[in-house]
Amino acid sequence: MIIMSMRSQIYEWNSQTGTAATSWTNANSGNSVSIFIGGFGNNITKPAETTATQFVVIEDVAVSPTAFLVSGTAAVGTYYRGLEEGGPVGGNGVYGNRAYIQIRINTTDYFLDPDNVGNDGIPGAASPYPRSTDFQPCFNLYPDVYVLPGQVFDALVTCYQNGAFADAGTAPAKESSQLYAFMKYTLYDGPDALIANKLLEMGISINPGNVDWYKRTLIQSQSAPAMA
Amino acid sequence: MRSQVYEWSNLAPSGATSSLRRTVDAVPVDVPVNREYDIFIGGIGNNITKPAETTATQFIVIEDIACSAYLGGALQVRINTTDYFQNPDVTDQAGVPGLASPYPRGSSDKAVADALTDSVQLLKSFDLYPDVYVLPGQVFQILYSLQTANTSTSATTVVAAFVKYTLYDGPDALIANKLLELGVTINPNNVDWYKRTLIEQQQRSRVAATATNGGSA
């Protein structure tokens, strides 16, 4: 068995994976849905949480992009750079799902509006997944989000555009109009989680480089000759 | 200390010009030309409940602003009553053009029907550095304006704006103020550095106190 106490991890969510009963439909627009246990697309078996010996650092979140054009000039179902125009009859000039992704730790939403009210999170237009030359990020999650031992964490997707999903198009377009979300995080386990806690106490950013630096410091202090 | 974003667009429920929460299948509304609209409480598109301001225990660092690259759109930052971007003769200007800081990145500079087939992918030519500081108790506005009408008889263009900022709250806001006094740039790294310095100072004083007491704490 290989023991790796510090691991880069990812989670990708696709709203259309699974059975027809669990595929995303227009009825879900406007609702925030967990990418882990929301009941749509691919899910996991239990809420995402850290054990007493784990520490998670979320480093990136992204969701399907959106493009903004002109309403009333193209029929609903028209495609722009792989994104479908949905919305009301006649089109509203929004291409794609108009999706957002929010991080929740226990019961607290991470992203707030300036009036301190929780918002929908990062727009897919700012942090697109997948990235391309057409859809580039203008947001990076810095400082990172820390999930301390024993906390539950979640990523919630909300979208506000009907008709831009797989059920609206034919085969090639279907694929491009799916709703995706992506999370990149680092899992610190065992001794590395203890070091991560120590770094947090010391006010040092938790990343693999700093965890390694702390280990080296410990080794150096142990191997230093005893003072006379 | 938290990374935050705010996205505004001129999308509102049919028959309304603004809404507090985003709504499904919202439609674009007219944004009159050559007027500045606060993206937080300007009365167009998605808005928040009150003007954006920092409390006595908050400090905000605005790190990026961007807006739609067409129709001559631009974004200005206003702190209390002072506009951040000015002309060299200290007269008013519209701010950072969407062409210089496009949102979304990679979008086209056209929003007309033929944009469906165009291949322009704009990159940013502007970086908000140094960042803009909003001190405790200050009100800030992000003002969007456009130079060309976004509404014709048959079509309305969707326009959007984006702000990325870091919110320092509680003890981190105090440290941010201290860094400002010291003339050190306020960013998460420097706030962490100041915390470490405080901890090291405390440890040194503890060791010194122990030594003064003859080895007993």
Task: Give the nearest chain A residue to B23 (CA atoms).
Answer: A160
- Determine whether the interchain pair A139/B115 forms a contact, defined as Cβ–Cβ distance below 8 Å: no
Average the pLDDT over B94-116 and give the result.
89
Chain B residues with CB under 8 Å of A115 CB are: 40, 48-50, 52
pLDDT at B39 over 60: yes
- B165 and B179 inside one domain: no
pLDDT at B24 over 60: yes
pLDDT at B216 over 80: no
> Quick check: is B83 in a domain?
yes
- B113 and B19 inside one domain: yes
Q: Which residues of chain B from 195 to 214 reach within 8 Å of chain A, CB to CB?
A: 195-196, 199
- B105 and B177 inside one domain: no
Average the pLDDT over B88-114 and give the result.
90
pLDDT at A228: 42
pLDDT at B199: 85
pLDDT at A225 over 80: no
Best probe of the A interface among B9, B23, B24, by most A CBs < 10 A, is B24
Q: Which two tokens stand for residue B107?
A: 């979008």
pLDDT at A25 over 60: yes
| Contact present, B17 and B43 (Cβ < 8 Å) | yes
pLDDT band at A172 (very low <50, low <70, confident <90, very high): very low
- B208 and B108 inside one domain: no
Cα A84 to Cα A74: distance, rounded to the nearest angstrom: 11
> Quick check: is B217 in a domain?
no
Which amino acid is residue B27, in one-letter code? Answer: V
Q: Which of A68, A72, A80 sits opposite B68 (nearest CB)?
A: A68
Summarised one tens digit per residue, pLDDT across range A126-171 is: 999 999 999 999 999 999 999 999 999 999 999 999 877 655 445 4
| Contact present, A179 and A159 (Cβ < 8 Å) | yes
Best probe of the A interface among B5, B78, B187, by most A CBs < 10 A, is B5
Interface membership of A173 toward B (CB under 8 Å): no
Cα B193 to Cα B197: distance, rounded to the nearest angstrom: 6
- B202 and B107 inside one domain: no
State the residue range of the domain holding B42. 2-170
Residue (of B135, B127, B130, B138) closest to B185 by Cα position: B130
Q: Which of A78, A126, A205 sits opposite B162 (nearest CB)?
A: A126
- B112 and B179 inside one domain: no
pLDDT at B179 over 90: yes
Write the ipTM. Answer: 0.88
- DSSP label of B102: B
Task: Give the nearest chain B residue to A141 (CA atoms).
Answer: B3
pLDDT at B113: 66
pLDDT at A227 over 60: no
Percent of all residues in chain A with a pLDDT value above 90, rounded to a whole number: 62
- Determine whether the interchain pair A138/B103 forms a contact, defined as Cβ–Cβ distance below 8 Å: yes
Percent of all residues in chain A with a pLDDT value above 70, rounded to a whole number: 88
pLDDT at A226 over 50: yes
Average the pLDDT over A82-90 and give the result.
84
**Angle at the Cα of A197 (from A192 to A199), degrees rounded to 5?**
90
pLDDT band at A85 (very low <50, low <70, confident <90, very high): confident
Q: Which two tokens stand for residue B145?
A: 């304006």
Residue (of B73, B71, B95, B72) closest to B83 by Cα position: B95
SS (H, E, C) chain A: CCCCCEEEEEEEEECCCCCHHHCCCHHHCCCCEECCCCCCCCCCCCCCECCCCEEEEEEEEEECCEEECECCCCCCCCEECCEEECCCCCCCCEEECCEEEEEEECCEECCECCCCCECCCEECCCCECCCCCCCECCCCCCCCEEECCCCEEEEEEEECCCCCCHHHCCHHHHHHCCCEEEEEEEEEECHHHHHHHHHHHHCCCCCHHHHHHHHHHHHHHHHCCCCC
Q: Which residues of chain B from 77 to 96 reach within 8 Å of chain A, CB to CB?
A: none
pLDDT at A100: 97
Residue B154 neighbours by CB under 8 Å, 6+ apart = A72, A73
pLDDT at A78: 84
Interface membership of A132 toward B (CB under 8 Å): yes
Summarised one tens digit per residue, pLDDT across range A36-74 is: 999 988 999 999 999 999 999 999 999 999 999 988 877
- Determine whether the interchain pair B22/A120 forms a contact, defined as Cβ–Cβ distance below 8 Å: yes
Chain B residues with CB under 8 Å of A80 CB are: 115-116
Number of domains in chain B: 2
> Quick check: is B67 in a domain?
yes
Chain B residues with CB under 8 Å of A88 CB are: 14, 25, 27
pLDDT at A173 over 60: no
pLDDT band at A177 (very low <50, low <70, confident <90, very high): low
- B99 and B38 inside one domain: yes
pLDDT at B82 over 50: yes
- Determine whether the interchain pair B27/A71 forms a contact, defined as Cβ–Cβ distance below 8 Å: yes
Å between A74 CA and nearest CA of chain B: 7
Residue (of B111, A92, A139, B20) closest to B8 by Cα position: B20
- B102 and B26 inside one domain: yes
Residue (of A70, A44, A76) closest to A155 by Cα position: A44
Which amino acid is residue B89, in one-letter code? Answer: D
- B163 and B182 inside one domain: no
- Determine whether the interchain pair B11/A94 forms a contact, defined as Cβ–Cβ distance below 8 Å: yes
Burial of B183 (0-12, 13-18, 19+ CB in 10 A): exposed
pLDDT at A1 over 70: no
Q: Please tell me the pTM assigned to this model.
A: 0.90
Chain B residues with CB under 8 Å of A114 CB are: 6, 40, 48, 52-53, 60, 140
- B189 and B204 inside one domain: yes
Mean pLDDT for all residues in chain A: 88
- B27 and B80 inside one domain: yes
Q: Which of B28, B49, B105 sits opposite A92 (nearest CB)?
A: B28
- B186 and B107 inside one domain: no
> Quick check: is B100 in a domain?
yes
